[in-house]
Structure 1
């Protein structure tokens, strides 16, 4: 049936009048919550009663120009497309509200519906990645949204998606073992628990189940940021009216790719045309491609246990730094070679771990250097230092037992506290 439908679409595309070769732009402004947003309507010149499409951004900072090429492609197919600059007020790496972003999209929908060339009953929303959470949420709030298009949308919570994506990135770099587990689980759970990861528990399923509008969901089979197989299954099982398509050699943004990580010139063949034909003539029945395979399923990011709160982790970190620095700074009291080793290895291990943590958060593991037996050299070095801390702690305990010195006792306390801390963060794991 799909082959017949595609053949019919090709015939219609060949026999239909050619769309205008260029697009006309119109500047618009609209407001939400006291914030004025600016955009551009890209539409075929001279068009009337056109369907409209509001493009909702993916995560991060975006301007309207990031989506202009697609808007122009849609305009050539007879669609008036509104692209706009994403808000900066109230949106950052550590703070954002999908509810506010959805209301921004709805304000854009109302601005587009007022355009004279647009049919107000045929205006919908398009959302990429993070927009795949936001666009359905906007549609669920308004009867003025006629349809929804998503690219690389998630059926799982943001924290769960991020954990899956982080592990993909690290494994691509050849990493395995404790660092991968720490980065994709422990570090992320601490970010969520500490409030540094916005909207971590947003559940898209109730919103999807509430939609009455037709939904066109599109995924790249080689997506490494969104678990595509799970997303297709969740959308298929949650939506009342859906068209779900998977492009075999496409990545997260439906760009052509070889492995999901590189981005070749151009979009997946058929993507732009499919959106144009679907928006102009939404089908009345549901259909879905088979979910693409995933190397592994995503895993839920569990809340922090009673012994894991972020404030406690920070307190332990400060204590370790103070305890290891205490011995060389305080000269009164007996000295011992194991204590000198303990303070040196302890400080290097803790500070080295902090540097690795920052590099992982900023660059998804890039910049950590060569990988040996599944571990980048800096991580391997910190693990070896951690073993040195354990050995030096035993030696310092013997020295403290002999001298019962406060100077040695503080260093020993640091070594004792270091062991469970290092186990928790994977420094003493395989």
Structure 2
């Protein structure tokens, strides 16, 4: 055999070994301890297309954690970002239930046509559906929600006595105050000048005036208040929900609640959130976990704000659990486990 042929075969062997090694690594890193089942739930305004992730090691009925998305379009697994969370809950003996938002991945409806009350009604329907399943222990139903879920789950907790615990990640208190905080934080991150900050806040104030006046979409567009205007659907969504404030519902929460807050959250004023929850809820029902390096979604700072960076993409594929700040997944598992008894 010629030297060139030997070198070629050696190179091919090395490439094959690398491919096999990477494949094995990805399989191991994505070896989650649950089984997924596609389910259909009759929601208040049509079918909900969901995923039930049951613990692989379960020998009997499992507890259930109902997932509630934040803002924006989202499929049931949030493009697989929820899977490390489902795995954490599975290790605590809980199944996880999540569904595609209306209009996402072929689900009927349009999530932009919803109010926060509509979203709460979906959760209510999902919990009612859980009672039809023999593989779910309905004495152990909890909920996990992020961001906008803070205007949804407190209402559900008030209305459903069979909801036994909640986990809220970066929930806001007041829609309008949250929007201003988010705007200021984004401008600060971009290094905006004081003049630009003042200009943007003025634009926002004019937009709020239109909302409070009940302006239709044509009036909003004609005002020219936004150089990059919202779509008609988004304007309708904001018009329905901009008065959202969770303070009154928080005061009625009587179940164990884990409040998870990130020190690098640009979307929500976590200091206000913590202050309101501590002042409003009974101290024996509230647990607060602060993660100084956590972002709005509890992902690492370099993942949340640089999603297209190759290192971020690599972590998502090769080490999906590591996209979250250290300690977050353990906090979910430990809190859920405590509710299992």
Distance 1:236 1:260, change over 3 A: farther
Q: Report the equivalent of 2:148.
A: 130
Q: Report the equivalent of 1:50.
A: 62
Distance 1:53 1:270 in 2: 19
Q: Does 1:85 align with 2:100?
A: yes
Q: Report the equivalent of 1:270.
A: 327
Distance 1:190 1:259 in 2: 36
Q: Does 1:192 align with 2:218?
A: no
Distance 1:227 1:98, change over 3 A: same
Distance 1:182 1:82 in 2: 43
Q: Report the equivalent of 1:244.
A: 288
1:52/1:79 contact within 8 Å kept: yes
Which structure's relative contact order is higher, taking Cα pairs within 8 Å and 6+ residues apart? 2
Shift of 1:191: 5.3
Shift of 1:258: 5.8
Distance 1:185 1:74, change over 3 A: farther
Shift of 1:35: 1.1
Q: Report the equivalent of 2:254.
A: 212
2:61/2:135 contact within 8 Å kept: yes
Superposed CA offset, 1:215-258 (max 9, x none): 11101111110001111111111112111111011100001116
2:51/2:76 contact within 8 Å kept: yes
Distance 1:133 1:180, change over 3 A: same
1:161/1:226 contact within 8 Å kept: yes
Find 1:30's aligned residue among 27, 41, 46.
Answer: 41
Find 2:127's aligned residue among 79, 102, 109.
Answer: 109
Distance 1:185 1:121, change over 3 A: farther
Distance 2:303 2:60 in 1: 42
Distance 1:144 1:171, change over 3 A: same
Gaps of 5+ in 1: 1-19, 285-430
Shift of 1:270: 1.3
Find 1:59's aligned residue among 53, 64, 71.
Answer: 71
TM-score (norm 2): 0.71
2:171/2:268 contact within 8 Å kept: yes
Superposed CA offset, 1:75-102 (max 9, x none): 233211001111232532xx53000000
2:266/2:295 contact within 8 Å kept: yes
Larger radius of gyration: 1
Distance 2:329 2:128 in 1: 24
Shift of 1:32: 2.5
Quote the RMSD (CA, aligned, Å).
2.4
Distance 1:99 1:239 in 2: 22
1:25/1:41 contact within 8 Å kept: yes
Find 1:256's aligned residue among 275, 300, 305.
Answer: 300
Gaps of 5+ in 2: 1-30, 104-108, 217-234, 316-322
Superposed CA offset, 1:78-133 (max 9, x none): 211001111232532xx530000001011112223433222101101111111122
Superposed CA offset, 1:134-175 (max 9, x none): 1222221111211111101112x1121011101211222121
TM-score (norm 1): 0.57
Shift of 1:21: 6.0
Count of paired positions: 262
Distance 2:178 2:101 in 1: 22
Q: Does 1:165 align with 2:182?
A: yes
